[in-house]
């Protein structure tokens, strides 16, 4: 056992976070995200019983966000004509504010299909059971 490691972080996820280097990206995906097809070249970590906010909070306790890019956090932009509300984004911004001085200015949005293309280049993708729509979030690792 280790001290001060959030219990939600599995040994596989801890190992993956350690392996990642500067500029590597990790996606924390909602339950609708095509994790296995998009992540066929990535480390896929199953955390189906958990939601994105609790995983995001635990990961950011250990994971420095990249300070050399404007938006080290990317959200999947809502599609035009999609009436989706995204209150989960406010939750993400509150969590990010706890760990990064840039707070919500560290967060950007990219178009849905561009998000999928960028996710294909991610080092790892975490599959969650998150039910909120447009709840996918991509983090770019910085340095300590």
66 annotated active-site: yes
- Catalytic pick among 66, 92, 100, 134: 66
Is the CB of residue 22 less than 8 Å from the CB of residue 143? Answer: yes
Q: Which of 22, 68, 82, 90 is catalytic?
A: 22
What pLDDT is stored for residue 82 in this prediction?
Answer: 84
pLDDT, position 85: 86
CATH of domain 24-140: 3.40.1650.10
pLDDT at position 18 is 97
Active site residue 22: yes
Domain limits of the chain?
24-140
Catalytic entry in 24, 50, 99, 116:
116
97: Cβ–Cβ under 8 A, 6 or more apart, which residues? 103, 104
Task: Give dist(CA 105, CA 108) in Å, integer.
Answer: 8
Nearest Cα residue to 140 out of 117, 126, 123: 123
Q: Encode pLDDT of 32-73 as tens digits.
A: 999 999 999 999 999 999 999 999 999 999 999 999 999 999
Q: How many helices (H) and strands (E) does the chain have?
A: 5, 6
Residues in the chain with pLDDT values less than 70: none
Whole-number pLDDT of residue 1: 75
């Amino acid at each position: 056992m280790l001290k001060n490691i959030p219990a939600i972080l599995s040994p596989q996820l801890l190992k993956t976070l350690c392996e990642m280097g500067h500029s590597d990206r990790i996606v924390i995906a909602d339950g609708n995200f095509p994790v296995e097809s998009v992540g066929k070249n990535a480390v896929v970590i199953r955390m189906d019983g958990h939601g994105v906010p609790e995983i995001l909070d635990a990961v950011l306790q250990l994971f420095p966000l990249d300070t050399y890019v404007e938006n080290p956090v990317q959200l999947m932009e809502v599609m035009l004509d999609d009436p989706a509300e995204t209150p989960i984004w406010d939750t993400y911004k509150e969590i990010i504010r706890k760990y990064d001085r840039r707070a919500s200015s560290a967060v950007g949005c990219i178009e849905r299909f561009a998000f999928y293309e960028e996710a294909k280049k991610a080092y790892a993708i975490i599959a969650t059971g998150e039910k909120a729509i447009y709840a996918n979030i991509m983090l770019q690792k910085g340095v300590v």
